Amino acid sequence: MHGLLQINKIRHMLLQQKLNRRFNVFYFFLILFHYIYDIIIHILEVSTMQIKLDDDISYVLKTINDKEYEAYLVGGFVRDSLLGFSNDDYDICTNMPLDEIENTFNGFKMMRENERRQIGRLKLNNKELEFVYFKGKTLYDDLIKRDITINALACDYLGNVIDYVDGITDINNKVISLVEKSGAGILKDPLRILRILRFSLKCNFIIDRNTKNIILKYKYLLNDIAHERTLDEFRKILSYRDATKIINEYIDIFSIIIPEFKRMNDFNQNNPNHIYTVLEHTLKVMDNVAINNFYLRVAALFHDIGKPFCYTEKDGVGHFYGHPKISSEIFLRFSDKYGLDKKSRDIIYKLIIYHDKDIPKKINKLNRFIYDYGKDNFDLLFLLKEADVMAQNNKYFDKLNILREEEKVVYERIANNFVFNVKDLKIDGRYLMSFGINGRDIGIVLNKILNLVLDNQLENEKSVLENYVNRHFG
């Protein structure tokens, strides 16, 4: 295909030139011979390129072929096999009607994804195979509609790789490039912009100049995507170690998703604790937290996002009073817009709010701090705090020792009979009922006792609490 396109371009060029006709004809056939030779070599290379298929997969593909239909393994499995990655996503593209596949294989189930497309799934020996009908009349029609060349590969039941778009060449050159060089595929589905960035991370490939220009040109179309699709792709991007490099390089794209990013870029903090811009600091914090923890990655991304909106300066030193609150509000807007689940929302919100709070030394204030934060995810909070310190001026790394001592104090306090709610008290409502306390009054009294314990005015010991009740209600 590539060679034929080039021939047509050359033919057009020759027709536009006022050269000797005989020379034109000679030159055209010379070029034609060159590209025919190139195509033959390419076909030979493709035909000898093979991947190893599981016997079950080969059996399914061959069974469909034996019924005089076509069936190919496509997409991710083929790509990852060539890259040496493991992949158990078996996507099969076929021209066999899906209801006929259902009659051919036991365990096949038809599922309508939307009104225009049907998919089917087959469970076979602990493998799940997904079937889709050709987008078009042929495999070629289907593959040239895909997003990037390395995802537009297929193989037959023998494992022979089929490549119409130079995907193998791009794999060898470690390049991400669009199948439709014009960017028409991006216009059809703008989510491909984020997919391109993700596959660049996944494969550690560079994005070619044309593709880069296209995704930057059409970045505004990300506003038109269903928010849950954007969140899913964004989540995947954050799971890669080099996500920060992509965010930094394509900050204009990510600013469509999170508009406040724009203010972070090149925002100088003018503070001796910080030698980096807000964005540089943020990305370094992200680099310092675990890539497999979504809560920490997002919290790191948002923890200082509010700084540019509350900047003040005194004696030439920058300050950001109240930035955790503003940062958390920005995060909540993002969460509400993209439909983050409640659990993730609550955990990340607390991490952002508390990331800059000092751990109190006084026991009553320490109790309140622990109580307000809650019993869960203190490990995440201290990991975020540590990552934050490590992304500041290394002259102040002594803060890490202080932080670790504070962490020790918090965990010791939690382990020492700490009360997070009235259920943790050493007395309960049944004991209060013996003093004639009933109904709503039980809850009022228990909460009063809880607050006294938190304020370090009472110990959470049964005898102490019983004595208190006897003195005040006996």
Looking at the structure of the chain, the number of domains it has is: 5
Residues 167 and 207 both lie in one domain: no
21, part of any domain: yes
Per-residue pLDDT tens digits for 16-56: 454 455 556 665 666 666 556 555 544 544 445 889 998 99
- The domain boundary, picked from 412, 431, 462, lies at 412
* 3-class state of residue 434 by DSSP: coil
- The domain boundary, picked from 129, 150, 173, lies at 173
Its domain, for residue 468, covers 422-473
Residues 269 and 229 both lie in one domain: no
Residue 368 CB partners (closer than 8 Å, separation 6+) = 360, 454, 455
d(CA 135, CA 428): 66
215, part of any domain: yes
Tokens of 109: 């189930």
Residues 312 and 362 both lie in one domain: yes
Tokens of 193: 């912009």
Amino acid at 372: D
Q: What pLDDT is attached to residue 48?
A: 55
Residues 71 and 165 both lie in one domain: yes
Residues 266 and 370 both lie in one domain: yes
d(CA 258, CA 279): 13
Residues 302 and 441 both lie in one domain: no
Amino acid at 252: D
Residues 220 and 274 both lie in one domain: no
Tokens of 371: 């109580």
Looking up tokens 């803060």 gives 399
Residues 353 and 439 both lie in one domain: no
Residues 252 and 373 both lie in one domain: no
Q: What is the pLDDT along the chain (474 residues), one digit of tens a residue?
A: 444 444 444 444 444 454 455 556 665 666 666 556 555 544 544 445 889 998 999 999 999 999 999 999 998 999 999 999 988 889 999 999 888 888 898 877 777 655 456 788 888 888 888 998 898 889 999 999 999 999 999 999 999 999 999 999 999 999 999 999 999 999 999 999 999 999 999 999 999 999 999 999 999 999 999 999 999 999 999 999 999 999 999 999 999 999 999 899 889 998 888 889 999 999 999 999 999 999 999 999 999 999 999 999 998 898 999 999 999 999 999 999 999 999 999 999 999 999 999 999 999 999 999 999 998 899 999 999 999 999 998 887 788 999 999 999 999 999 888 999 999 999 999 999 988 898 999 999 999 999 999 999 999 999 999 999 999 886
CA quadruple 51, 56, 57, 59: dihedral positive or negative? positive
CA angle 331, 419, 444 (to 5 degrees): 95
pTM: 0.83
Helices 342-354 + 323-338 axis angle, to 10: 170
* 3-class state of residue 230 by DSSP: helix
